[in-house]
Amino acid sequence: MDDSLTLEVHDLEVQVLTGIYSEETHLPQPLRISITLGMTCPDRFAPDTPLSASKNYLDLKHSATTALPEGVHFTLIEGVADHICETLFLQDDRVTWVEVKIVKLAISEAGEAIGMTLRRHRR
């Protein structure tokens, strides 16, 4: 079995234009986005291993914030998740899979987490 490295950034709150109902299509909605990705890794991480042997966690955050196109309306949150996956695959050839979990905060009535999880593998 090959070694792998899993990186995670969880619970980012991001305002995104998304939704199918008329009351959802004019203003951004708050989403809670969590990202987990797998990537190849070196044989060993020594104390002086440089950041280039891994991936900057801020790249994951960027894919769910500033890398989302401004002013673009995503009909489905699945489209938001797919855009995040593609951004991370394009950033780094070592990324083998990406999992994005999105919770729609605006439709929660009693603190429940309503949303979806998309997992994509590099093709």
* pLDDT, position 95: 97
Identify the residue with better confidence: 80 or 106: 80
* pLDDT, position 61: 97
CA distance 42 to 9: 21
Mean pLDDT score of the chain? 93
Supply the pTM of this predicted model. Answer: 0.92
CA distance 82 to 76: 10
Q: Which domains does the chain have, with CATH numbers?
A: 5-43+54-121 (3.30.1130.10)
What does the pLDDT look like over 98-109, one tens digit per residue?
999 999 998 888
Percent of the chain with pLDDT over 70: 97
